[in-house]
Amino acid sequence: MIREFQHGTKALPSNLPCRLIKVGAVEWRQIAQRVRTDGGRLLTLWGADDRDRDGRYRVYAAYLNANGVDVIEHEMDGGARPVYPSLCEFFPSSLRMERTVFDLLGIRSMEPDQRGWLRHGGWSESAFPLRRDFESNSQSAAVSEPYPFVQVEGDGVHEIPVGPVHAGTIEPGHFRFSVVGEKVLRLEERLGYTHKGVEKRFEQLPLEEGHRLAARISGDSAVAYSWAYCAALESITSADCPPRALQLRALALEHERMANHLGDLGALGNDAGFAFGLTHFSRMKEDLLRTNQACFGARYLMDFIVPGGVVSDLPAHAHRLLLDRYRTIEAGTASMRNTYDNHAGVQDRFRETGVLSPELAWNLDATGLAARASGIPHDLRADCPWPPYDKLKPKVSTQPSGDVAARAAVRFDEIVESLRICRALAGGLAGGSVRNAIAEAAPGLLGIGVIEAWRGPVLIALETGPGGSIRRCHPHDPSWQNWPLLEFAILGNLVPDFPLINKSFNLSYSGQDV
Amino acid sequence: MAFVWQFAEVILAIALAPLFVGWIAQCRAWMQSRSAPPLTQQYRMLRKLFSKDVALAQNASPLFRAAPYVLFATMVLAAAIIPSVVTDLPFARAADAIALIGLFATARVFQSLAAMDIGTSFGSLGARREMMVGFLAEPAILMVFFNAFLLFGTTDLTSLVDNHASHPSVIDPSVIFAAIAFVMVLLAENARIPIDNPATHLELTMIHEAMVLEYSARHLALVEWASSLKLFNYACIGIALFLPWGIAMHGEHMGAVLLALAALIVKLALCGAGLAMIETLSAKLRIFRAPEFLAMAFLVAVLGLLVHLLLGANPNA
């Protein structure tokens, strides 16, 4: 696809087909344009400070094309004001990532919106935590800084600031509504309140410990993150993961998907004032979590996946437990779907609320579940399957309408499909061990792990340092692409419908703020 | 003697109101297959709130501090007018059903003003929505009372109940329309599903909760107590209008009063279960459906009037 740029191309270790292409500033933009017109998508964008090695800064963009992942590398002189061309023109979702790269590394994109994204006055404007010369244990007093929200003017227009502290126990985020009456004219999000320096922390960990931090980036995607990390590390060290371990990982990933979908469907009912839905879905979710505890040794599957395999095999009676649980979930979900579909009040709240049209979804780089609910059939498990998904042939469910009802319907469909996958996995488990030792990694290697989590593709870019250390690790959450969608899906809706629309996307704060 | 009954009835209302709210919460929990909070949960919450220190916003005016007392006082006064156990209430002569609506409106105005007093966006948001619901609900409840007036020739609640309870054989079809309209207004006026959600933590969807977000400690306790009294009062109005049988009439004795008390408790328990059932079965309406909902209540009440006039079934004629 990017044939004319192939002069600096080499293969990268990854669980998907993956190439690294080194380019200059002009090609950096040309490639973005080409990927856009060819129907590819931007997976993530990150930067690195390599001044200690060769006096340069680097910025990377990872694209997903029909034939795999292309990582584009662009290097800059390590001078006082390193800049690179912005990708926002082709991929609007890169704006917040570019603003974050500046906050953390001081490399500026040539994009007019130069407001910070996640610094929030937490450290000095001239300090950049991800630079090599930054003292990670240095303390600086947080200063409250003004943030220029875009103002809407007009007769009867007023602003409602919401958050970051909410009336319920939820993650912090600030939403600035400009409304007239109850109708939303504009929404601007401000996130970054849960920034905790995960990327810097990675650099102090040995390679074989990193998966534990990865699992904690966004607790609801622990399996996906730890798998992505392990996939990156295993491809760097050319380690072989036993087939049984791969199947158990996929089983865990599908359990994670189902648990989140069950939780979300209940919460969607609750936000529509239908608490009956919440109690029944919560019960099913809890049953599944207890099955996780019994079969995998952890309710939310933290630390189940380790480099080289999984931490433990299933207990002897697991097969029976799993099949029983799948049967109850299948019956319960089908009956609740029937209840939701036939409840006039719930359907009135769900349908035509928070509509994200397929065109808009495509133009805004929607990814994962939100994209599928707007008719874009993206699912890495089917588009670009990695083992064991190459044998499972997952069916991608999409909905054309892009409203809350569509996002609920995709969740229902995916639970059914996950149950099919789980049964296939549980019925055809390979024999053998569940964990192989992995070799010591050579320094200076970049590896990529990409896993389709329940929200969308999770990516970990891992660079090894000397002596089994992590030189750089960049985790990417699909929420980066999907948070901006919410600003558009809410337009023209009523203020009290926002919680419902927000819940239908259910994006991660922690995973994006890292 | 009448003053003793009057006093006892007010105390009864104040004491029973949190229990009634607790009972509804319990029924709702059962119907949603959750384990229920104890019946006394509301009392425990009130005790907790009364023992806390008040946190006040710096720019709170005396109005903000006075509003909880005004709210509580108006609801107590309303309880004094509504015949729940006995009809021999001296206070009731001072105000009829229409004045009662005025009393509820007074409470609403104070609560809305207090909500806007601090100047937070949620307070004004809630106040705005509350006024919208309120001014749509009032005509509907007036129509319900006119319906009763046509049937029993009075808007004075105690004489109305006397008239009604002494003609137990009369069931006018218009009463059914009025009862449906009344339940719809009750749900809207008391911040219940489908208009508002008393259990929500989502500040953007709140109506009543948004107005009281800034209150704490004893102020919050009074506001909560007042709103449970309001629900209790509404339930008692409904019982007085539509199920008055068993109430102790003028000049009856202790035995009748005890019987009336037992009847009231049974009726309240049934009403509470019914309310919980409605709340469990319905989802919350979009806020712009609220006017349709209340217009429907108004329409049903007017239909009741029409049915009554067309059938000409006036037992007193």
Give me the CATH number covering residue A82.
3.30.460.80
Q: Is residue A481, in this structure, part of any structural domain at all?
A: no
Supply the pLDDT for residue B50.
Answer: 95
- For residue B209, what is the nearest residue in chain A, using CA coordinates? A167
pLDDT at B170: 61
CA quadruple B201, B204, B210, B214: dihedral sign: positive
Cβ separation of A345 and B286 shorter than 8 Å?
Answer: no
Q: Among partner residues A182, A345, A499, which is closest to B194 by beta-carbon distance?
A: A345
The tokens for B4 are: 């003793």
Do residue B202 and residue A162 have CB atoms under 8 angstroms apart? no
Asked if A272 is an interface residue toward chain B (Cβ–Cβ < 8 A), one would say yes
Say if residues A235 and A13 touch (Cβ distance below 8 Å). Answer: yes
> Who's near A437: CB < 8 A, 6+ residues apart?
A239, A308
Determine the 3-state secondary structure of A454 from DSSP: coil
| Cβ distance of B205 and A496 shorter than 8 Å | yes
Q: Hey, which residues does A56 pair with through a beta bridge?
A: A50, A77
The Cα of A363 is separated from the nearest Cα of chain B by a number of Å equal to 29
How far apart CA A367 and CA A103 sit, in angstroms, is: 25
Give phi and psi for A352, each to the nearest 5.
60, 25
Question: Which residues from chain A sit within 8 angstroms of residue B200, using beta carbons?
Answer: 273
* pLDDT score recorded for residue A163: 83
Give the pair of three-digit tokens for residue A32: 């973005």
The reply to whether A499 touches chain B by the CB within 8 Å rule is yes
The minimal CB distance from B280 to the residues A159, A161, A276 is found for A276
- A420 near B CB under 8 A: no
Residues of B in contact with A501 (CB under 8 A): none
Cβ-based neighbour number of residue A144 at 10 Å: 7
Mutate to test the interface with B, among A274, A278, A280, A287 (most CBs of B within 10 A): A274
Q: What is the pLDDT of residue A130?
A: 93
Gap from B244 CA to chain A (nearest CA, Å) = 33
Q: What is the CB neighbour count within 10 angstroms for residue A512?
A: 28
Q: Give dist(CA A159, CA B119) in Å, integer.
A: 13
Answer yes or no: do A276 and B282 touch at CB < 8 A.
no
DSSP code, position B91: G
- Angle in degrees, 0-180, between the axes of helices B254-281 and B217-242, rounded to the nearest 10: 110
Q: Is residue A410 part of a domain?
A: yes
**B194 to chain A: nearest residue by CA?**
A273
CA distance A75 to chain B (A): 46
A280 reaches B (C-beta below 8 A) = yes
Which residues, 6 or more positions from B84, have their beta carbon under 8 angstroms from its beta carbon? B9, B12, B13, B236, B239, B240, B247, B264
Regarding whether A427 and A281 lie in a shared domain, the answer is: yes
Q: Is residue A193's pLDDT more than 70?
A: yes
Q: How many residues does chain A have?
A: 514
| Residue A500 DSSP label | H
In this complex, how many residue pairs, one in chain A and one in chain B, have their CB atoms less than 8 Å apart?
A: 79
User: Which residues are bridge partners to A62 per DSSP?
Assistant: A44, A71
The dihedrals phi and psi of A160, each to the nearest 5 degrees, come to: -120, 110
Q: Which residues contact B281 (CB under 8 A, 6 or more apart)?
A: none
Facing B283 at nearest CB: one of A280, A343, A499 = A343
Residues 6+ apart with CB under 8 A from A504: A264, A268, A354, A404, A407, A408
Where does A137-294 show beta strands of DSSP type E? 157-162, 174-180, 183-190
Identify all chain A residues contacting B121, using CB atoms and an 8 Å cutoff: 158-161
User: What letter would DSSP give residue A202?
Assistant: H
| DSSP state letter for A7 | G
Place of tokens 């080289």: A308
From chain A, pick out residues whose CB is under 8 angstroms from the CB of B287. Answer: 182, 494, 496
Between vectors from CA B286 to CA B283 and to CA B290, what angle results, nearest 5°? 100
Whether A202 is covered by a domain: the verdict is: no
What's the gap in Å between the CA of B16 and the closest CA on chain A?
26
**Range(s) of the domain holding residue A17:** 3-118
Q: Where residue A5 falls among pLDDT bands split at 50, 70, 90?
A: low
DSSP designation for A206: B
Q: In whole angstroms, give the CA distance from residue B70 to residue B222.
A: 10
pLDDT at B317 (0 to 100): 43
- Asked if A345's CB is within 8 angstroms of B32's CB, the reply is no
Residue A60 pLDDT > 90: yes
Contact B165, B239 (CB under 8 A): no
CB-based contact (8 Å) between A125 and chain B?
no
CB contact under 8 A, A168 and B121: no
Query: What is the β-pairing status of strands A108-109 and A309-310?
Result: unpaired
Per residue in A413-447, pLDDT tens? 999 999 999 999 999 999 999 999 999 999 999 99
Q: Is the pLDDT score of A329 beyond 50?
A: yes
Q: Could you check whether the bond before residue A388 is cis, i.e. omega within 30 degrees of 0?
A: yes
- What is the DSSP secondary structure assignment for residue A79, as one 8-state letter? S
Decide if A24 touches B, using CB distance below 8 A: no
Neighbours of A341 (CB within 10 A): 14
- Angle formed at CA A134 by CA A133 and CA A135, multiple of 5 degrees: 115
CB A182 within 8 A of CB A174: no
DSSP codes joined into one string, A83-126: EE---TTT-TTHHHHHHHHHHHH-PEES-S----SS-TTSS-TT
In this prediction, residues A217-226 reach a mean pLDDT of 95
| Residue B60 reports pLDDT greater than 70 | yes
DSSP structure class, residue A164: S
B194, B205, B289 ranked by CB distance to A499: nearest: B205
Mutating which of B116, B121, B284, B285 best tests the A interface, going by the most A Cβ atoms within 10 A?
B284
Average pLDDT for residues B284-304, to the nearest whole number? 93
Q: What is the mean pLDDT of residues B138-149?
A: 91
Residue A452: phi and psi, rounded to 5, are: -80, 105
**What average pLDDT does the segment A355-362 reach?**
95
Confidence check: pLDDT of A4 > 70? no
B contacts of A162 (beta carbons < 8 Å):
203-204
Cβ atoms of A487 and A397 within 8 Å: the answer is no
- Picking from A273, A346, A496, the nearest residue to B193 by CB comes out as A273
Question: What pLDDT score does B186 carry?
Answer: 95
Least-confidence region, from A454-468, B184-198, B299-313: B299-313
Q: Is A283 on the interface with B (CB under 8 A)?
A: yes
Closest CB to A494: pick one of B200, B203, B288.
B288
**Residue B55 Cα, gap to closest chain A Cα (Å):** 17
Find the residue in A nearest to B192 (Cα).
A273
Q: Is A446 helix (H, G, I), strand (E, B) or coil?
A: strand
How far apart CA A22 and CA A19 sit, in angstroms, is: 10
DSSP A349-414: HHTTSS---HHHHHHTT--HHHHHHTT----HHHHS--TTHHHH-PPPP--SS-SHHHHHHHHHHH
In three-state secondary structure terms, A172 is coil
Residues from chain A that touch B192, judged by Cβ atoms under 8 A, are none
In chain A, % of residues over pLDDT 90:
86
Domain range list for chain B? 2-311
Smallest CA–CA distance from B30 into chain A, residue: A276
Distance CA B221, CA B55 (A): 13
Neighbours of B101 (CB within 10 A): 17
CA–CA distance, A2 with A5 (Å, rounded to integer): 6
Contacts of A271 in chain B (CB under 8 A): 202, 205
Give the pLDDT score at B163: 80
Q: Does A176 touch chain B (CB under 8 A)?
A: no
**CA torsion through residues A117, A122, A123, A128, sign:** negative
- Choose among A14, A44, A32: nearest CA to A384: A14
Q: What is the mean pLDDT of residues B1-21?
A: 91
Cβ contact (<8 Å) for A348 and B285? yes
Chain B residue numbers with beta carbons less than 8 Å from the beta carbon of A273 are: 193-194, 197, 200, 282-285
Cross-chain Cβ contact B204/A498 below 8 Å? yes
Kindly report the CATH number assigned to the domain that includes residue A305. Answer: 1.10.645.10
Which residues of A fall within a CB distance of 8 Å from B199? 275
Residue-by-residue DSSP string for B255-313: HHHHHHHHHHHHHHHHHHHHHHHHHHH-PPPPGGGHHHHHHHHHHHHHHHHHHHHHHT-
On whether residue A74 sits in a domain, the answer given is: yes
Chain A interface test: which of B130, B204, B289 (most A C-beta within 10 Å): B204
| A267, part of any domain | yes
Nearest-angstrom CA–CA distance, A467 and A207 = 9
pLDDT value of position A243? 94
- Whether pLDDT at B169 is above 80: no
Domain count, chain A: 2
Beta carbons of A268 and A260 less than 8 angstroms apart: no
A167 interface with B at CB cutoff 8 Å = yes
Nearest to A308 by CA among A437, A205, A210, A213: A437
Q: What global pTM score does this model have? A: 0.92
Residue of chain B with shortest Cα separation from A175: B204
Is the preceding omega at residue B194 within 30 degrees of 0, hence cis?
yes
Task: Pick the closest to residue B236 from B191, B267, B190, B260 (CA basis).
Answer: B267
Q: Min CA distance, A280 vs chain B (Å)?
A: 8
Q: Measured between alpha carbons, how far is A227 from A458 in angstroms, rounded to an integer?
A: 9
Q: Look at residue A209 and tell me whether its pLDDT is greater than 90.
A: yes
| Res. B93: pLDDT tops 90 | no
Structure tokens at B222: 């009074």
Q: Helix/strand/coil (H, E, C) string of B43-86?
A: HHHHHHHHCCCCCCCCCCCHHHHHHHHHHHHHHHHHHHHCCCCE
CA distance A496 to chain B (A): 4
Q: What is the pLDDT of residues A309-327, one digit of tens each?
A: 999 999 999 999 999 999 9
In a domain, A228, yes or no: no
If you average pLDDT over every residue of chain B, what do you get? 89
Specify whether the CB–CB gap between B147 and B305 falls below 8 A: yes
More confident residue, A348 or A163: A348
User: CB–CB of A354/A504 below 8 Å?
Assistant: yes
- A144: tokens are 């409250």
Chain B residue with minimal CA distance to A339? B281
Q: How confident is the model at residue B254 (pLDDT cuts 50, 70, 90)?
A: confident
Neighbours of A359 (CB within 10 A): 11
Is A493 within a domain?
no
CB within 8 Å: A167 and B28: no
Q: Which residues in chain B are contacts of A496 at CB distance < 8 A?
A: 204-205, 286-287
Rounded alpha-carbon distances, angstroms, from residue B56 to A173, B14, B70, B225? 25, 26, 18, 19
Q: Residues A483-514: pLDDT tens digits?
A: 999 999 999 999 999 999 999 999 999 999 99
Question: What CA–CA distance (Å, rounded) separates B162 from B98?
Answer: 18
Instruction: Tell me the residues of B at the A interface, defined by beta carbons under 8 Å apart.
Output: 28, 31-34, 121-122, 125, 193-194, 197, 199-206, 209, 213, 280, 282-289
- Tokens standing for residue A323: 């099949």
- A248-252 contact pairs (CB < 8 A, 24+): A248/A296, A248/A310, A248/A313, A248/A314, A248/A429, A248/A434, A249/A223, A249/A305, A249/A310, A250/A388, A250/A389, A250/A392, A250/A421, A250/A425, A251/A422, A251/A425, A251/A426, A252/A223, A252/A292, A252/A296, A252/A301, A252/A304, A252/A305, A252/A310
B219/chain A closest Cα distance in angstroms:
19
